[in-house]
Amino acid sequence: MRTWHTLCRLEDIPVLGSRVVKRAGGDIAVFRNDQDEIFALHDKCPHKGGPLSQGIVFGQTVTCPLHSWQINLASGEALAPDHGCTTRFELKVENGEVLLAL
């Protein structure tokens, strides 16, 4: 069953940046773009495991810091010509609080 966990306030995530949620099953990167949309992905690039949380956010895309693959923040899928997918997690904002479904 899905449980919602309160992470932080929306403004605690830097615009065009991210915040990392540490957990045993692998860290989760929570991104915020310049439209105040938020996304959560496993903090591991589908190419060679680079830390997506340290990538550059643009629109609904993050560019991996290691070899510049572009990953769609909404789906976790690599943009063509690359192939691969990282796990995405559901998020919502309620009363300014970011909640993550695990």
Q: State yes or no: residue 67 binds ligand FES (CB under 6 A).
A: yes
Which CB atom, from 50 or from 76, has the smaller least distance to ligand FES? 50
CB 19 within 8 A of CB 10: no
Choose, by CB under 6 A, the member of 5, 48, 83, 92 that binds ligand FES.
48
Among 10, 16, 66, 99, binds ligand FES (CB under 6 A): 66
Q: Do the beta carbons of residue 1 and residue 100 sit within 8 Å?
A: no
CB-wise, 17 or 49, nearer to ligand FES?
Answer: 49
Q: Does 29 bind ligand FES (CB under 6 A)?
A: no
Of the candidates 71, 69, 76, the residue with the CA atom closest to the CA atom of residue 90: 76
In 28-96, DSSP assigns E strands to 28-32, 38-42, 56-58, 61-63, 70-72, 88-89, 91-94
| Nearest distance from C-beta of residue 31 to ligand FES, angstroms | 15
Q: Which of 13, 62, 64, 91 binds ligand FES (CB under 6 A)?
A: 64
- Which lies closer to ligand FES via its Cβ, residue 54 or residue 60? 54
> Do 60 and 72 form a contact (C-beta atoms < 8 A)?
yes
